Chain A
């Protein structure tokens, strides 16, 4: 019995990357009140196994020229290992120990919990944008499990205990059939024999799927969330709402919209906010599914972001709203659209220019059923897209009057600015439980 394997060969680089991917086993499975449990459980798995301590297990692995770890998204996770291919068999044995025989011991758990709490705070002390975008997603999903960050919440981390992590380990891997993604200098046949035939997933049980039947919340107007941060040099503006899924027939139009409105240095947001007015170092937009914040086959929020110098926020806030309104009202000019077509046509090669990216495309198809268009289809779709098509899609999926807006800054300065936003449904001041 062998696990399903996705394989790409990188000849000449003597490394083997093994990722065991578990669809459905994401941080959205964190129980309410224990946000951060999945991540802590994964960290605990790699902190000692088969009776070996953390230092012993990782010492043996690292002497082989290997390391292991995990990546955690809201809707799936991957247990991963990379090793010098010459030591693949021995490294894989230790990786399997972490997967199947983790110690899950109390001392490591307490250390990891303290570590997670300190790191959670430190990350937000360093990055205001992390705080602002965390609040934005949480509020856009109206507190649902889909809108939480994998590193959890301060209260959730405080509430963790060892028994919960041990229980979570026993259940977590039973959500859907896992598969392997392997990047190696070995042939597919050898990877099958030496990797896929040796790996079996840990047991588990179904914990439900919070994404099943998910209906995006739609605000009645503009919800404004004030995130007080006294004395900041720059403020944070994050806004947006649910729009479209990558599985829809118009996704190529949405790619054009993202690119031309805020996808690069030549986009409208960047050009106006930074280039023409010098209000902020950056201004951009994206679909959250493209940033890995939600499954790529679900309707995802379209997000606009800028971080103006504090004295420029009064100008930047109404400007970014009016640029979004103008976009949905008028779309793009023929010249802009032609530029977008050229860019997406010519840059298509970068979707698959390395073995890593080819493997990622295979994994994307396995996870979400999404297959990237080939070069000819991509070109044909772009060439067939008119200004009217863009406007139709914008008006059908975007609504600048119904969105979530997070404004981080000194409360005395930004609160009056927030009250001037037209069409407000409600203004809330967020009591952020961290820095």
Chain B
């Protein structure tokens, strides 16, 4: 194995990286507060890696990784993790990555490494277990269907991306998920799960020499698979505005998304865009909060840069999200936003707003360093998105020296553009609630017993 250049994350957490000849990589993050560790595996596959007939397969596959392997029967994996003292065992699928994670006592790392490496290459995909898991996956999809925010977000992504796979819901479409067969899973496994598609992060207090030995034994000799496919081509930013309106029978107030395309995580303008998001909406005194929430139009208003928030491999969106007060039309928030952009483009951004944003970003960044798992997530997320695990620290350094002129320039270049996407969710007609016999909310005397 080859040692990668070491670094110290935020001058506090020593990080030692290693790469094996089969392409497997590991980052060991030292935080010796306690003899425990976060263990996180990133695979460089997500919903954006799926073909047209595979929408939802990356997520469904993530579920199957907890079933059986050539060595472990169904249920053994969860049992071993539990007996190892694992807490927070879970996984998540995103656009560009699938993460598997658990926190364990350092004494259990040997067992975790063994079973994680096992399921990387030895998974068994039996039709019986696929059918059982399909029920849970379809149940999860139906759970999201009952959430108005999910349909709202899906409408945004479908409107914002016309070709790029970010337009599809990560969880996929019911018709396809209901039909995936064993061959689909087997093909997906061969194509995307291999040591050269994985990064293991271990963050906490542990013996590095011993952990390296264990990683070498478990992963070092696994056969490499196909290389990571090139990401899909980015959609060109729209030249004209796109507007989508939808209704939902279970919402009583309106919501608004405004989005414009960004140049991507590695672009030189990304730090300025991130700081601009903070200038506009970070804190109760931010201009967006003042003009929408404090002025009584909205219950919440926020901005973000999806590229850094997820993080994303392909260029993403600068996003504004507003939840309106009852009876307030989304167009009023849109007008406030437009007026704010005009004002800032014309007059510049007040220095006090920039000072607030810089310090709020520092506060948020330092707060995110307080657990082993959040450290592992940060480092791994940026490694997947741009190949630089240290990018979170670099981004903060660059962001703190962004000037007012740069902010004004990126505002004009990326926000005040004609090709803006607006998505509005409004209350719509729907079925009413049933008649009842007991009113909810009636008080009884304190300490009443029966």
Contacts and interface: CB of A to CB of B under 8 A. Distances in A.
Interface stretch (A72-80, A270-278, A381-389): A270-278
Given A115-B325, A343-B82, A350-B103, A121 B252 contact: yes
Contacts of B140: 281
Interface string B128-167: 0001111111111011011111000000000000000000
A280 interface: yes
A333 interface: no
Given A233-B142, A346-B105, A355-B33, A63 B355 contact: yes
A62 B366 CA distance: 15
A343 B432 CA distance: 47
B5 interface: no
Contacts of B136: 274-275, 278, 280-281
A135 B441 CA distance: 9
Interface in A417-435: 428-433, 435
A243 interface: no
A142 B441 CA distance: 10
Interface stretch (B114-122, B235-243, B282-290): B282-290
B34 A114 contact: no
Contacts of B11: 12
Nearest to A11: B12
B106 to A, nearest CB: 9
B126 to A, nearest CB: 14
Interface string A13-40: 1110000000000001000110100000
A430 B431 contact: no
B137 to A, nearest CB: 8
Interface residues of A, number: 108
Contacts of B356: 59, 62-63
Interface string B240-252: 0000000001111
A265 B363 contact: no
Contacts of A56: 285
B296 A114 contact: yes
A217 B103 CA distance: 39
Contact of A121 (B86, B133, B137, B253): B253
B437 to A, nearest CB: 5
B447 A346 contact: no
Contacts of B282: 62
A234 B442 contact: no
B355 to A, nearest CB: 5
Interface in B243-292: 249-253, 282-286, 290
Interface in B358-413: 359-360, 362-363, 366-367, 369-372
Given A62-B359, A125-B148, A349-B35, A233 B441 contact: no
A73 to B, nearest CB: 17
Interface residues on B, range: 35 or more
B438 A430 contact: yes
A352 B369 contact: no
A233 B145 contact: yes
Given A54-B294, A111-B296, A144-B448, A230 B149 contact: no
B330 to A, nearest CB: 14
B403 to A, nearest CB: 18
A91 to B, nearest CB: 10
Contact of A126 (B148, B355, B440): B148
Given A219-B450, A230-B433, A433 B285 contact: no
B253 A210 contact: no
Given A63-B356, A115-B293, A264-B89, A58 B362 contact: no
A279 B359 contact: no
A255 to B, nearest CB: 13
Interface in B326-379: 326, 352, 355-356, 359-360, 362-363, 366-367, 369-372
Contact of A430 (B324, B436, B443, B450): B436
A432 B149 contact: no
A350 B86 CA distance: 9
A114 B139 contact: no
Interface of A: 10, 12-15, 28, 32-33, 35, 54-56, 58-59, 61-67, 82-84, 87, 111, 114-115, 117-119, 121-122, 125-128, 135, 138, 141-146, 153-156, 208, 210-219, 225-226, 228-234, 264-266, 271, 274-281, 307-310, 312, 339, 342-343, 345-350, 352-356, 411, 428-433, 435
18 contacts: A13-B370, A54-B284, A55-B284, A84-B366, A142-B448, A144-B445, A144-B446, A153-B440, A218-B450, A228-B433, A233-B142, A265-B82, A278-B133, A346-B107, A349-B35, A349-B36, A430-B436, A430-B438
Please give me the 5 A-B residue pairs with the lowest Cβ-Cβ distance, nearest first. Answer: A278-B135, A346-B85, A65-B359, A228-B434, A143-B444
Given A63-B352, A265-B89, 13 more contacts: A13-B369, A54-B294, A143-B448, A213-B447, A217-B450, A230-B434, A231-B430, A233-B146, A234-B146, A349-B34, A350-B85, A355-B33, A428-B438
